Amino acid sequence: MRTKDKKKYYAFKNDYKVLANELRTLSGITVSSAFNNTPPLERKIMTIEAIWDTGATNTVIREDLINSLNLIPVGKTANSTAGGIIEVYQYLIDLFLPNDMMVRNLLVTGNSHLNSCDALIGMDVICRGDFAVSNTDGKTHFSFCMPPHHNKLCLYERADKYNK
């Protein structure tokens, strides 16, 4: 009798010594031009620092990274910003997260105003897994897992069960 292949989960966590006002991955993230979009000898890979932004619909990277990676636009889209709606180019990248997580052919846009990080990881990546933040004892704990677990985490249900 053949056993069923077990699903493998990939995850990482960041623990902060204080309450964090942003969720930042300081190491373990790399980006490259999408494998399907670039000949292997022309691919460049760069290590980046990213902020996880649940308010961003899509992932955004700094424009100087676009130039360094020799990314070629694959389209245009309208982007909503604090200053209004602007038209921006779209690029395909491969995003490598800590602990062997990978998002291939991710459609991203560029932004020349990202100063405090190299990229904003948006909901286009976050929705591919389980994303959790807790602030126990005045310290922030942030974790991410792909693919999503079959047993969802519901804080409402936990609180309701505890309070009964």
Domain membership flag for residue 78: yes
Cα three-residue angle 118-55-57, rounded to 5 degrees: 80
Residue range 120-158, pLDDT digits in tens: 999 999 999 999 999 999 999 999 999 998 888 888 998
158 found inside a domain = no
Whether 9 is in a domain gets the answer no
- Domain span holding position 81: 22-130
**Confidence check: pLDDT of 1 > 50:** no
For the stretch 79-88, pLDDT in tens is 877 778 888 9
Structural domain includes residue 10: no
83, 87, 91, 96: CA torsion to nearest 10: 20
The answer to the question of residue 135 being in a domain is: no
Per the CB < 8 A criterion, the answer to whether 83 and 132 are in contact is no
Overall domain count for the chain: 1
The CATH number given to whatever domain includes residue 40 is: 2.40.70.10
Look at residue 143 and tell me if it is in a domain: no
Is residue 34 one of the residues assigned to a domain? yes
Residue with tokens 């105003």: 113
**Residue-wise pLDDT tens digits, 27-73:** 789 999 988 766 666 788 999 999 999 999 999 999 999 999 999 99
Q: What pLDDT is recorded for position 38?
A: 64
